[in-house]
Structure 1
Amino acid sequence: MIFRQLFDPSSSTYTYLLGDSGEAVLIDPVYEQVPRDLALLQELGLKLVSSLDTHVHADHVTGAWRLRQRCGSAIALSEAAGAAEVDKPLRHGDRINFGQRHLTVRATPGHTSGCLTYVLDDDSMAFTGDSLLIRGCGRTDFQQGSPQQLFASVHEQILTLPPSCLLYPAHDYRGITVTSVAEERRYNPRLGGDVDVGDFTGHMNNLNLPHPKQMAVAVPANLRCGKPEGDAPTDTPDWAPLTLRFSGVWEIEPMGLLEQQKNVQIVDVREAPEFIDRLGHLHGATLVPLSQLTERMGEFDRERPIVAVCRSGVRSAQASVLLTKAGFNKVANLAGGMLRWKIEGYPVESDPA
Structure 2
Amino acid sequence: MNDTDFAFLKELVEAPSPSGYEQPAQRIMRRELEPVADEVTTDVMGNVIARIAAAGEGAPRLMLAGHCDEIGFMVKYVDDAGFIFFSPIGGVDAHLVPGQRVLIHGTGGPVLGVVGKKPIHMMETKERETVVKFKAMFIDIGCSSRSEVEALVAIGDPVTLKVGLERLQGDRVISRAFDDKMGAFIVARVLQEVRRRGAPPVELYGVSTVQEEVGLRGGATSVYGIDPDIGIAVEVGFATDFPEVDKKELGEFKVGSGPILSRGANVNPALFELLMECARDEKIPVQVMAQARATGTDANVIQLSRGGVAAALVSVPLRYMHTPVELLSLSDLENTVRLLTALVYRIRDRGQFIPN
Q: Give the structure-1-normalised TM-score.
A: 0.23
Of structures 1 and 2, the larger Rg is shown by 1
Structure of greater relative contact order (alpha carbons < 8 Å, 6+ residues apart): 2
Calculate the TM-score normalised by the size of structure 2: 0.23
